[in-house]
Structure 1
Amino acid sequence: MNEYPQSEWFKEWEKYIDKNILLLKNINNEFLIDKLGDSVVKFITKNCLEVKWNNHFILMALIRLDKNSVEKTILERLKMLHRNFKLFFADLNLESFNDEKFEQTLYKYYSEEIYLDHTSNKRTDFLKAYSSSSVLMKKWVENKFDSEKLKEFQNYLLPVFYYRRTEFKIRGKAEQKAKTKRKAETDAIVPHLPQIRVKANFRWNQINRLYQTYKKVLSNALENNQSFPVEFSYNEPEHINETHYFRLWSKRSFILNNPEKFSRSVLTSVRLGLDCYSAEKDSYFIEYLETKSTNSTEEFEGFWFQELLDRKLFAHKRMKLDDEGYEESLTFLKSIGYSENGGLYTNPYRSLHEGVLAPPRLISNWQCKADGHLFDIEPLYVGCTFGLLAIDILTTTGARINELLQINNTKECIKMKKVKDKICYSFMAIPKGRDLPEEFYISKQTMSILQIVAKMLKGQNESNNIPYVEYKGARKYLFKEEKPYYFQYNNRAMREDSTTQCIRFLLHGLYFETKNGKPVTIKSHLLRHAFATEAIQRQKIPIDIVAKLLHHKNFNTTAYYSAPTDTQIVESLNEYHDIIASYVDVDDMYLRSPESLQRELDEYIKKVGVFNKVLGGTCVTDFVCPTKMQCLGCKAKIPEPEQEDELLEVIKLSADMQKRFNKMGLEIEARKAKEMSKQARIELQEIDLIKRYREERKIETQFKLNPFR
């Protein structure tokens, strides 16, 4: 066992930090400092080593790490506290936290008496960060050490100040504001979950057709020794009625065909084949010229990312104040929802992961020299493929984004079961706040997308295996071994922000707004909220089952996620008015005996069982049946196109039932039959879209060379 931590920053920190803190260990006798995330280490090294609260911060970070806080949470707490401590200590000339002026300052800050430019959200975030950190540190140290050892750490604890929540209005205001905002955004998203998933599939099909056509044209040009550029076009499927026009360039040909736009030294290097301009190091990219309607009388849409090309919003270069069109781009981003808490995401589509979305720097720099839009199709294809996989899992399982990043191509992760002659699938991941993996059930559709990703990764590495890489997501100390993760590229695992950018790019242009007219941007956690709300409020799945699906520890969290939206409240009220307008036998309801209620409960708790074949699809819950065996419309069911006939039969049957019940005067039963038909038709629509994008995926495009001649 090592006597000292092995981290390279240990010796540097040793000059400033008490050794008792640096040598703290976890229950496995491992040094905690060796497990700190890179972003936390960089922040502390750059900002906190020489401040008066340096020991407090290191101790707090290590304690949070030992309590299984994710790297992102630790970093956020450090940043929030550091920002305010700098203000307090500088303005009040404080020497330590024991100064009584410190507590007075905190009280005034929470009471909104000082720093009037700080928002309620900012004050509440600081209150949460300070309160939780001070209490956590005190409890952890007291539970870990005896009274003698405790003295060594006493001076490095943040003072605990016990304030009543009712003393300050800021927390209530900020929490209510945040909840109202999140619920308004959820309200805008919930009705469109199936459409979001379907749109992502259609768009992936479109980018895949372009990518496959590009590879065919390039292969044809190289085999036949054609000179570059090569002009080509291809037609989209008939229901799209569009023709796209491109030029295929090599790096050398682009320079030689635009000699007036390059320096003499570059031209000389190209002609002589020197350094990076040699024929062996040549690379290829395309220039998007235009899109036309195949039928000239119809309008056309082109690619969904056209305006992002126009504004260079996924280029490698970061947008800066002195860039041409900077203000116009900011206005555009704000109009589609990329502003939050007064700030603005100036690069929401700019990926920092090499080979994902962003084109090479060279292409970004050469854009001003081209007639059309230059882009490298491979990074776009890669980004859309990762985006498709993420959207599919987020909208069908409600998983967190860091749980997606854990999916890897090993038998310990991907599970296949044969249930009643049918192969069914799931993956294992460690949820937030846990240390052991739990099971997430996925569909055959999700598995097919995983296979697309696997093929892409194997092709990029020219291997039959997915590369083993180091995990880069939250809580990476839990994943010490390199694994063949699906979310990786260029031999480097992806982070949460890169995956989010892929989702944003694939869904760009889908416009959602709250009832107040504010634009809503799709975020992974918003999809999780929407999944929970849809499951409980529309599908009436019990909260304990949804908590299990979301892998929540606390039902209160699930209740917050799934609280009804304004739209759902109005819909429920309208349904209630419809019901009370009809005849209801109150005496019959009143006289229902406890024995009958018990029999209903016994029936209700029967399990359907994971992966059972049910009406119109496959059941994927391993808990009690969420809908009392009423499978139509249930979110615990995955629609299957192969079972379309069953839903068609339901529609016929429900029409007959409506007629019979109406003749018998059973109006409520007739409405139930009508609802059956409605749910079956909704599922048929989703199945129809699934069939369409599956069929579209099989289409092989035919390209035409020199389309302008």
Structure 2
Amino acid sequence: MTVLTDKPKSPFYEQLLGKVDEQLLHLQDARGIYLLDKINERNMNYYIRNVVDKPWNNHLLLSVLVYTDKKADVRSISILIENLNPRFNNLFEVFQLNNITKFNVETHMYQYLKGLIYQEHSDNMRANLLQWYRSVSYNTKKWITSTLNNEQQSYFEQFLFQMPTYDSRDFSFTKSAKEQAQNTRKSETDVIVPLLPQIRAEGHFRWNQLNRLRQAYLKACEQAKTTNCELPLEFHYNEPERVGKRFYFRLWDKPSFVLNHQDQFPASSLKSAIKRTRAYSDENNNYFVEFVKAERIGDNEEVEGLWFMELFEFGLIGDWFKNISDDEIQQKRELLYSWGYGDDGYTQNPLPFASRHKGIITSSTFVSRNKDIAEGILFDVEPIYVAVTFGLLTLDILTTTGARLNELLQISYTKECLKSVKIDNKLHYSFYAIPKGRDEVESFYISDQTMKLIAKVIKLLKSHYDNEKIPNVKYYYSRKHLFTNPKPFIFQYHNKAFDNHAVYSCLRFLLHGLNFETQDGKVITVKTHLLRHAFATEAVQRQKLPIDIVAKILHQRDLGVTGYYSEPTPSQVAQSVSDLHDVISDYVDLDEAVLRNPEELEKEIEEYKEKVGVFNDVLGGACVTDHVCPIKMECVGCHAKIPQPEKKQELNDFIDWNKKSEEFYNSMGKKVEVKKLRSARKKARNELKEIELIEKYREEEKYEPHIQFDK
């Protein structure tokens, strides 16, 4: 091999030297760029934590390098590693192998795939292993053959995974795993679809509740600063009548907490806390709260606190399994399983609330380290407020557009992404993103409510950065190669864009405790892709939208995939709910883009006016589709319509008219028409129920708790 005189710039290079083959570290692409420099940080971190000391480390690193050069999604590479590495751990352990040369795919893996070992593993786990192993073996060998010279090929062939002589047709689990996955998804969808309005409403109720806590916390902080009172400062406030609870808290800062728990800290910490130096100086200090108790208003009976308290109480935030005993791990693992977490099969220790993002859910190091010292439940307010704010926006967009996660993460605060047009003195909104499998942006129509939530996130970010501008950050999720230029992405915090872990943890945190069971008793939790399935199922099965229309809404090219997404479930009774608040007045330099090009706008408006859709006023709400009406303008109950409380009377008038029409058709003996009318009346009443939920959480948004300080 050629003597190497240069080296990669990757921050991981030095960590890998001496642990993996050096020639692998110096592999280059066709332009002479080191492949190691192109590997995503997320994939590299996993490799160093879990693979670098394993017998198969060189083989798996070569695979990651090859897939990186082939511009595979970051998420795809993650799935590759996370499917192969755990199974190699299993195989090398059970067969007591200590060298990759002793591994025989024809015997060791074959026994696993036949179910002769690890019989508790699912068909899906075996199918995934075979699928990824064959894919990696084939693509890595093809890349070496087509990219490297003969000398390099001869050297790097030692790190190829042996291609098995068998394939999926030799095993019964392949069809079984596929059917099992589809049946699982459909049974979970069946649970979620009827409850979409309630889930969305509960998300709003919980954001309102957390916002009230934050208001109380900020007032307590201000009280402590202005009066220079001694901490802890105890305070309480009443929740709205619907909740009927009174919450009690203590406000702490770091020095006061140390001085009130002196027996728990070393003398050096006490000295620094008294003098307010080093870690306890003003610049390093911060406030946090301790939840003391909750009471029912009226009878002072103790009741449960906020919905997320048990997560902090049982220590399930972040990487909860570190630095605890095996017995504690088992107890916490079983608790998470009982709530429906950990059904992906990739790890024994599920991490549903590990955002892997600074400032999201996880409390500060001081609070996390000392949480067990407090009598009550200790946590930071801001990280969970940030999480539920992003979680609510995620829930809203996924359940009103059916968007994918990577489309959600592309939303940026730019005129190219967020657009509005004004028709009949009303603004209509959309965001533009590149769907999966495409390389050009497409439009996603959104409601006033979604814009309200986007504006709320923008306000949060401006406050966080103490700047009227949102910083440009690098895109951090799959298909990263399409987004090379940093942008002011909406889903960001602490100068870093979100990835899937941050979004998942925010959504799970917001909806924690809303656990549902399938008909066979399996506990499930709300997931991003499950919401997409629910959106498609509702649109096709209840609203009877043609599959090709739903495919366009979901931005799918394969109608077969759309058909699978929208297969019928036993119950189809859900209805979209969306809150249509007035758009925040100081937001929307969005229509500047419109004003700059009036001729183009006028032409676009005329095209839309030829359709029944997004710019039309409809009975009881607003239409948010730009396609020719798929249900012949039967707007009551349509999935493409967002109910509006302001149009509540229209629905009441429709029901009155409907009843009179039923009497008329009954007198004529038109039974079919009577059935149509009754069906429409039922849909109208469902919409009224949804509007009632919207009105309730709107009302609670305006509720300002009266904060009372106890000393």
Please indicate, yes or no, whether the TM-score normalized by the shorter chain is above 0.5.
Answer: yes
Deviates more, 1:102-111 or 1:280-289: 102-111
* Structure 2 residue corresponding to 1:486, chosen from 478, 486, 490: 490
Which residue in 2 is equivalent to 1:581?
none
Which residue in 1 is equivalent to 2:580?
none
Deviation at 1:169, TM superposition (A): 0.8
Contact 1:650 1:676 in 2 (8 A): no
Deviation at 1:46, TM superposition (A): 7.3
Deviates more, 1:255-264 or 1:225-234: 255-264
* 3-state SS of paired residue (1:410): coil
| 1:520-557 Cα deviation digits (max 9, x unpaired) | 11111111111111111222111122222222232222
* 3-state SS of paired residue (1:302): coil
Quickly say closer, same or farther: Cα 1:639–1:701, change in 2 above 3 A: same
Deviation at 1:344, TM superposition (A): 3.9
Confirm or deny that 1:181 pairs with 2:155. Answer: no
* Structure 2 residue corresponding to 1:471, chosen from 475, 478, 481: 475
* Structure 1 residue corresponding to 2:43, chosen from 40, 44, 53: 40
Which residue in 1 is equivalent to 2:372?
368
Contact 2:249 2:290 in 1 (8 A): yes
Quickly say closer, same or farther: Cα 1:204–1:405, change in 2 above 3 A: same
What 5-or-longer segments of structure 2 have no aligned partner?
1-5, 574-609
Contact 2:8 2:26 in 1 (8 A): no
* Structure 2 residue corresponding to 1:22, chosen from 15, 18, 27: 27
Which residue in 2 is equivalent to 1:593?
none
CA distance in 1, matches of 2:616, 2:68: 41
Give the RMSD, CA atoms, in angstroms.
Answer: 3.6
Which residue in 2 is equivalent to 1:228?
231
Quickly say closer, same or farther: Cα 1:42–1:329, change in 2 above 3 A: closer
| 1:131-189 Cα deviation digits (max 9, x unpaired) | 334555577788x6799999889958767668675432120122122222221111111
Deviation at 1:682, TM superposition (A): 1.0
Contact 2:75 2:477 in 1 (8 A): no
Deviation at 1:222, TM superposition (A): 1.4
For residue 554 of structure 1, what is the amino acid of its counterpart? D
Deviation at 1:628, TM superposition (A): 2.5
Structure 1 segment 239-250 matched on structure 2, within 5 A: 239-250=242-253
Which residue in 2 is equivalent to 1:528?
532
Contact 2:318 2:351 in 1 (8 A): no
Deviation at 1:302, TM superposition (A): 3.4
Structure 1 segment 118-157 matched on structure 2, within 5 A: 119-136=122-139, 155=157
Which residue in 1 is equivalent to 2:582?
none
Quickly say closer, same or farther: Cα 1:639–1:344, change in 2 above 3 A: farther
CA distance in 2, matches of 1:42, 1:501: 19
Contact 1:545 1:624 in 2 (8 A): no
Contact 1:17 1:49 in 2 (8 A): no
For residue 22 of structure 1, what is the amino acid of its counterpart? L
CA distance in 1, matches of 2:53, 2:234: 61
Contact 1:363 1:375 in 2 (8 A): yes
* Structure 2 residue corresponding to 1:399, chosen from 379, 393, 403: 403
CA distance in 2, matches of 1:262, 1:419: 64
CA distance in 1, matches of 2:365, 2:549: 49
Confirm or deny that 1:237 pairs with 2:240. Answer: yes
Structure 1 segment 510-659 matched on structure 2, within 5 A: 510-567=514-571, 607-659=611-663
* 3-state SS of paired residue (2:372): helix
Which residue in 2 is equivalent to 1:496?
500
Which residue in 1 is equivalent to 2:590?
none
Aligned pairs, number: 663
* 3-state SS of paired residue (1:238): coil
Deviation at 1:205, TM superposition (A): 0.2
Quickly say closer, same or farther: Cα 1:667–1:334, change in 2 above 3 A: same
Which residue in 2 is equivalent to 1:574?
none
CA distance in 2, matches of 1:46, 1:95: 23
CA distance in 2, matches of 1:75, 1:315: 19
Structure 1 segment 390-469 matched on structure 2, within 5 A: 390-469=394-473
Which residue in 1 is equivalent to 2:583?
none
| 1:175-210 Cα deviation digits (max 9, x unpaired) | 122222221111111111111111000000000011
CA distance in 1, matches of 2:369, 2:556: 47
Contact 2:13 2:25 in 1 (8 A): no
Quickly say closer, same or farther: Cα 1:229–1:94, change in 2 above 3 A: closer
* 3-state SS of paired residue (1:22): coil
Deviation at 1:565, TM superposition (A): 2.1
Deviation at 1:103, TM superposition (A): 5.4
Deviation at 1:489, TM superposition (A): 1.7
| 1:324-372 Cα deviation digits (max 9, x unpaired) | 8554433322221123266544442243322211111212233333222
* Structure 1 residue corresponding to 2:352, chosen from 348, 364, 372: 348
* Structure 2 residue corresponding to 1:219, chosen from 206, 219, 222: 222
CA distance in 2, matches of 1:245, 1:95: 63
CA distance in 1, matches of 2:622, 2:151: 58
Contact 2:25 2:36 in 1 (8 A): no
Confirm or deny that 1:190 pairs with 2:193. Answer: yes
Q: TM-score normalized by structure 1?
A: 0.83
Structure 1 segment 56-67 matched on structure 2, within 5 A: 60-61=63-64, 64-65=67-68
Deviates more, 1:517-526 or 1:49-58: 49-58
Contact 2:55 2:98 in 1 (8 A): no
Which residue in 2 is equivalent to 1:587?
none
CA distance in 1, matches of 2:152, 2:130: 26
* Structure 1 residue corresponding to 2:268, chosen from 238, 257, 265: 265
Deviates more, 1:16-25 or 1:524-533: 16-25
Deviation at 1:95, TM superposition (A): 5.4
| 1:574-629 Cα deviation digits (max 9, x unpaired) | xxxxxxxxxxxxxxxxxxxxxxxxxxxxxxxx942433322222222233423232
For residue 402 of structure 2, what is the amino acid of its counterpart? G
What 5-or-longer segments of structure 1 have no aligned partner?
570-605
CA distance in 1, matches of 2:533, 2:57: 37
Which residue in 2 is equivalent to 1:596?
none
Quickly say closer, same or farther: Cα 1:122–1:328, change in 2 above 3 A: closer
For residue 245 of structure 1, what is the amino acid of its counterpart? Y
Deviates more, 1:650-659 or 1:161-170: 161-170
* 3-state SS of paired residue (1:404): helix
Contact 1:315 1:364 in 2 (8 A): no
* Structure 2 residue corresponding to 1:205, chosen from 196, 204, 208: 208
Quickly say closer, same or farther: Cα 1:632–1:145, change in 2 above 3 A: same
CA distance in 2, matches of 1:383, 1:262: 31
Contact 1:204 1:385 in 2 (8 A): yes
| 1:207-266 Cα deviation digits (max 9, x unpaired) | 001101211222133123322222222122233222222222222222223334433332
Contact 1:317 1:361 in 2 (8 A): no
CA distance in 1, matches of 2:336, 2:397: 27
Which residue in 1 is equivalent to 2:591?
none
Quickly say closer, same or farther: Cα 1:608–1:163, change in 2 above 3 A: farther
For residue 209 of structure 1, what is the amino acid of its counterpart? R
CA distance in 2, matches of 1:309, 1:112: 40
Structure 1 segment 314-329 matched on structure 2, within 5 A: 314=317, 318=321, 321-322=324-325, 326-329=329-332
Which residue in 1 is equivalent to 2:689?
685
CA distance in 2, matches of 1:9, 1:361: 26
Structure 1 segment 22-101 matched on structure 2, within 5 A: 22-25=27-30, 34-42=37-45, 60-61=63-64, 64-65=67-68, 68-81=71-84, 87=91
Percent identity of paired positions between Structure 1 and Structure 2:
43
For residue 463 of structure 2, what is the amino acid of its counterpart? G
